[in-house]
Amino acid sequence: MPQYVTLRIDGANVVAPRGRTVLDVAIEYGICIPHLCHIETISDMGACRLCIVENVVDGRTKVTTSCTLQVQEGMVIATNTERIRKLRRNIAELLVAEAPNSRAIQDIAVRCGVKRVRYPFRNRDCVLCGRCVRVCAEMWDARAIGFVGRGKERHVDFPFGVRPDFCKRCGSCVQLCPMTITPCDGPMGPGEERLCGKCESQLMVTERMPDTCVLCDLGKGFACARHG
Amino acid sequence: MPRLAGIGELENLRAAAVAERQRASMTLIVCGGPGCQASGCRAVADALSEELAREELTSEVQLRVTGCHGFCEQGPIIIVEPAGICYCRVEPGDIAEIVSTTLRGGVVDRLLYADPSSGERVRSAWEIPFYRLQDRVLLALHPEIDSSSITDYIATGGYSALAKVLGEHSPDRVIKAVTSSGLRGRGGGGFPTGRKWATCRAAPGDEKYLICNADEGDPGAYMDRGVLEGNPHLVLEGMLIGAWAIGARQGYIYVRNEYPMAVEHARLAVAQAREYGLLGDNILGSSLCFDVEVARGGGAFVCGESTALMASLEGKVGEPRAKDVHTVEDGLWGKPTVLNNVETWANVPLIMRNGPAWFAAKGTKGSKGTKIFSLTGRVKNTGLVEVAMGTPLRTIIYDIGGGAADGVAIKAVQTGGPSGGCLPADKFDLPVDFDTLAQAGSMVGSGGMVVMDEHTCMVDVARYFLAFLQDESCGKCVPCRLGVDRMLEIVTDITEGRGRPEQLELLEELGETVRETALCGLGKTAPNPVLSTLRYFREEYEAHVRERRCPAGVCRALIAYQIDPERCTGCGLCRTACPHGAITGESKQPHTIVADACLRCGICQSECRFEAIVLTERG
């Protein structure tokens, strides 16, 4: 029998089994916390930092990622305060400036309230969310790809740059990659990068209902935990 | 040497070791710390031992090569005991004179420390202002001990705290003593050590681990190196007491491979302690079983972070993980683990020896005891400095450090390494303790102190530290990898004259974001150099951005060199020195600099003997 704990998320009393993370529980209850590197059933690494929430411990408010935070009895979580929105917007801005050619990331940026990008665009192919690496290791136990290098040099690659036999070309890595969803108008070339804001999708609804999961199309595209 | 089976045997050994040390009528102490090594103390020590052998004095005069004394600026240092005479900047050629004069009871005046203001020679080490004004507890032990000798350590009271603890203290009593001493972690965070131990002791599970973090990587800091090299048994004794307190059987010393002597001394100390039965099963006849392994780090700065260090020890990639569950409950191999810094461990035996009240008597309300700082940069007396917590910055920089190195006014001090902040001169009356410095936007950190003068550009300093952190970031989380990268991009823009006024606000906002949201301690503190310089030296940023001017004359894109025709004698030195061929002129006629060819390296200025080359703003 799982043990249950009661906690408050954005003022709502929530009952959840011990051992689950705040992000999982929030999504289950229809509270949308933007997230990128999180995939349900796969372990979390806390890389993208989009799912940050405020956790009040002993009267002190700590900002922490909800995907690595396990539920505890009596916890008080705020997912959508002014401060969190601002921090999240800044992180999303960093991400979209790095990789404007992903509709997933463009949509996350809009979802997080990014109105303009104050950094030069870079047009990278990878934001190192690590979804591919973890799904390969944990779902298929293959470990055919991994992170190589440190800091600026960090990238995803096969061991020694050669595709090993134990890569079965299952394609899970590609399927879960947020970079595979191209912008509606097609890929942007170097120098053409911009913040995509034309889309009148359900994302716009999120401006009126900022902390409610609206089952947005974006989620389907990059396999948001809500869509499973 | 057989294992020490009990406390009685340890005391017998101590008595024998003390008698052995008293056999010699005179001891010559050569500092073998990293600073003195760099100035050639190895050759001095070799010359000294040859000289003693030649004069057949080896039985009367003892030679002791020890750990760092702290006064690295004046190295190599020799101290003659029992008179306490201190010789500075000794060269191998001076040895014969020192030995013959000392035997006659005389003093070699020219090698004594000269007070820079009065020129007066100071005989004894402890009268030198640099030493006199410090409150040396850990560093004071270094000259007493040959760092490769366990008997030296035992002769000076070593392992007596362990014997006391094993004989009469329950683990809970040890934790209570450490808690009431007020000891806080010396590695940077300043977490109360007693509370950490108590949580780990209470954590479920029989298997627990201890780690000594000696992965010191801050530019310009070498406190932990000094302690681990100079007194490794003190650190081991601290770990043994910790093992007794929390119930651990295995400990690790994680030391960076770039510190070869620290690795060597730590390994030697572990081997000696095993031989004497001070590590292993049933230590000193008690129920304590504990062993220590020395692990070498590959030199990644981020591996000084506790979770990254543990991942590295486990053989995984040295990357931090989220610490929502603390390492005292879920640490090395998923077991409760206590990780403390070298200096923290080194303080533990002294607290148990002298009592927690002795330790708590020093320092401020929230920060007790003494702390070692490594004082570097533009001060006269660089070296390791140990002062009581709460000592004002001014005392450390001006009284102990001797003030500005070459007459240029001191502008700021950078405390706490790359993650710390820069404090301006008008904050120098702040007492150095964990809470005050944190409030002022910097931190005690592990204890690095880099002094900067008016010739230092604070924007350039911020750029340097950002570049360091960008290089050392593991790249796992977005705020640290991309945030620090973008901050560096902006600051580089500013130093190269492309800065825009609105970028300053962006820099602040981005810094706040990184500080709040990064995964680990490295990322959370990475914006400190930028945020603190923006807070205290905003006018320098403004000058770069609005006036395209570098007030300190450092940022190459914003300066130009010119030759003053009045002063130039046409000697041609600058013309031959210029690597870019940017200086032209006839012999004995005033020269000129071709602005387009000049890369503003400044070589000409340092070559010119007539001060004819002047730094101007680039128009």
CB nearest A68 (choices: B302, B322, B476): B322
**CB B478 to CB A151 under 8 A?**
no
Give the minimum alpha-carbon distance from A67 to chain B in angstroms, rounded to a whole number.
Answer: 10
Size of interface A-B (CB pairs under 8 A): 93
pLDDT digits (tens, 9 = 90+) for B93-117: 888 888 888 888 888 888 888 887 7
Question: What is the pLDDT at residue A197?
Answer: 64
Q: Which of residues 128-147 of A touch B (CB under 8 A)?
A: 128, 147
Give the minimum alpha-carbon distance from B467 to chain A in angstroms, rounded to a whole number.
Answer: 11
**CB A49 to CB B478 under 8 A?**
yes
Q: Does B489 touch chain A (CB under 8 A)?
A: yes
Match 């350590």 to its residue by tokens: B153
**CB A46 to CB B477 under 8 A?**
yes
Mean pLDDT, chain B, as a whole number?
89
Interatomic CA distance for residues B385 and B371, integer angstroms: 8
Domains of chain B (ranges plus CATH)? 20-134 (3.40.30.10), 150-360 (3.40.50.11540), 370-453 (3.10.20.600), 458-546 (1.20.1440.230), 556-617 (3.30.70.20)
**CB B472 to CB A68 under 8 A?**
no
Q: What SS3 class is residue B192?
A: strand
Structure confidence at residue B1 as a pLDDT band (50, 70, 90) = low
Nearest chain B residue to A97 by CA distance is B482
CB nearest A91 (choices: B302, B472, B513): B513
Residue A143 identity:
R
Give the minimum alpha-carbon distance from B535 to chain A in angstroms, rounded to a whole number.
Answer: 20
Interatomic CA distance for residues B345 and B242, integer angstroms: 8
Give the minimum alpha-carbon distance from B300 to chain A in angstroms, rounded to a whole number.
Answer: 9
Question: What is the pLDDT at residue A200?
Answer: 57
Interatomic CA distance for residues B563 and B598, integer angstroms: 12
Question: What is the pLDDT at residue A114?
Answer: 85
pLDDT digits (tens, 9 = 90+) for B23-49: 888 888 999 888 888 898 889 889 888
Interatomic CA distance for residues B57 and A201, integer angstroms: 92
**CB A94 to CB B482 under 8 A?**
yes
Mutate to test the interface with A, among B307, B470, B472, B481 (most CBs of A within 10 A): B481
Would you tell me how many other CB atoms lie within 10 Å of the CB of residue A217? 15
CB nearest A64 (choices: B324, B471, B509): B324
Q: Does B516 touch chain A (CB under 8 A)?
A: yes
Match 């205290």 to its residue by tokens: B536
Interatomic CA distance for residues B408 and B117, integer angstroms: 16
Interatomic CA distance for residues B381 and B372, integer angstroms: 15
Give the minimum alpha-carbon distance from B505 to chain A in angstroms, rounded to a whole number.
Answer: 11
Name the least confident of A131-140, A209-218, B3-12, B355-364.
Answer: A209-218
Interatomic CA distance for residues B175 and B389, integer angstroms: 22
Mark residue B116 as left, alpha or beta (left: phi above 0; alpha: psi -120 to 50; beta: remaining): alpha
Label residues A73-82 b or e (16+ Cβ within 10 Å = b): eebebbbbee
* Dihedral over Cα of B577, B578, B584, B590: its sign: negative
**CB B322 to CB A95 under 8 A?**
no
Structure confidence at residue B555 as a pLDDT band (50, 70, 90) = confident
Q: Which of residues 278-337 of B touch A (CB under 8 A)?
A: 300, 302, 317, 321-322, 324-325
List, edge to edge, every strand of the sheet that includes A52-57: A12-17, A4-9, A76-78, A52-57, A60-65
Nearest chain B residue to A19 by CA distance is B325
Nearest chain B residue to A117 by CA distance is B506
Mean pLDDT, residues B144-152 taken together: 89
Q: Is the pLDDT assigned to residue B82 strictly greater than 90? A: no
* Dihedral over Cα of B173, B174, B179, B182: its sign: positive
| Among candidate residues A118, A51, A195, the one with its CA nearest the CA of residue B509 | A118
Would you tell me how many other CB atoms lie within 10 Å of the CB of residue A178? 25
Alpha carbon distances (Å) from B15 to B10, B154, B160, B281, B285: 9, 9, 12, 25, 19
Contacts of B299 in chain A (CB under 8 A): none
What does the block give as tokens for B573? 């030195």
Contacts of A127 in chain B (CB under 8 A): 478
* Angle, CA of B390, B394 and B398, to the nearest 5°: 135
**CB A153 to CB B485 under 8 A?**
no
Structure confidence at residue B188 as a pLDDT band (50, 70, 90) = confident
Question: What is the pLDDT at residue A228?
Answer: 54
The per-residue pLDDT string of chain A (228 residues; one tens digit each, 9 = 90 and over) reads 679 999 999 989 999 999 899 999 998 888 888 888 988 888 888 899 999 999 988 888 899 999 999 999 999 999 988 899 999 999 999 999 999 888 888 888 888 888 888 999 998 889 999 999 999 999 999 999 999 988 888 999 999 999 999 998 999 899 888 888 888 778 888 888 888 765 655 556 666 776 677 677 667 777 777 665
pLDDT digits (tens, 9 = 90+) for B331-348: 889 899 999 999 999 999
Name the least confident of A218-227, B139-148, B519-528.
Answer: A218-227
Nearest chain A residue to B321 by CA distance is A45
Q: Is the pLDDT assigned to residue B147 strictly greater than 70? A: yes
**CB A94 to CB B486 under 8 A?**
yes
Q: What SS3 class is residue B530?
A: helix
Give the minimum alpha-carbon distance from A152 to chain B in angstroms, rounded to a whole number.
Answer: 7
**CB A152 to CB B485 under 8 A?**
yes
Interatomic CA distance for residues B241 and B238, integer angstroms: 5
Question: What is the pLDDT at residue B267?
Answer: 94
What does the block give as tokens for A50? 């989009």
Q: To which H or E segment does residue B539 belong? A: helix B538-546
Interatomic CA distance for residues A107 and A111, integer angstroms: 6
**CB A47 to CB B476 under 8 A?**
yes
Interatomic CA distance for residues B113 and B501, integer angstroms: 51
Q: Does B202 touch chain A (CB under 8 A)?
A: no
Domains of chain A (ranges plus CATH)? 4-79 (3.10.20.740), 84-124+180-219 (no CATH), 131-178 (3.30.70.20)
Q: Does B471 touch chain A (CB under 8 A)?
A: yes
Interatomic CA distance for residues A103 and A199, integer angstroms: 10
CB nearest B475 (choices: A69, A97, A151): A151
Question: What is the pLDDT at residue A192?
Answer: 82
Name the pairing type of β-strands A146-148 and B410-415.
unpaired
pLDDT digits (tens, 9 = 90+) for B403-462: 888 888 999 999 888 888 899 999 999 999 888 888 888 888 888 899 999 989 999 999
Question: What is the pLDDT at residue B504?
Answer: 92
Mark residue A123 as left, alpha or beta (left: phi above 0; alpha: psi -120 to 50; beta: remaining): left
Residues A54 and A61: beta-carbon distance below 8 Å? yes
Q: Is the pLDDT assigned to residue B303 strictly greater than 60? A: yes
Residues A154 and B475: beta-carbon distance below 8 Å? yes
Q: Which residues are bridge partners to B124 per DSSP?
A: B85
Q: What SS3 class is residue B254?
A: strand
Give the minimum alpha-carbon distance from B508 to chain A in angstroms, rounded to a whole number.
Answer: 12
| Among candidate residues B546, B559, B554, the one with its CA nearest the CA of residue B618 | B559
Q: Which residues are bridge partners to B410 per DSSP?
A: B453
Q: Which of residues 87-106 of A touch B (CB under 8 A)?
A: 87, 90-91, 94-95, 97-98
pLDDT digits (tens, 9 = 90+) for B203-260: 888 899 999 999 988 888 889 999 999 999 999 999 999 999 999 999 999 999 999 9
**CB A154 to CB B481 under 8 A?**
yes
Q: pLDDT exceeding 70 applies to what percent of chain B?
A: 100
Contacts of B506 in chain A (CB under 8 A): 118
Mean pLDDT, residues B393-411 taken together: 88
What does the block give as tokens for B491? 């600051």
Mutate to test the interface with A, among B478, B491, B505, B507 (most CBs of A within 10 A): B478
Nearest chain A residue to B490 by CA distance is A119
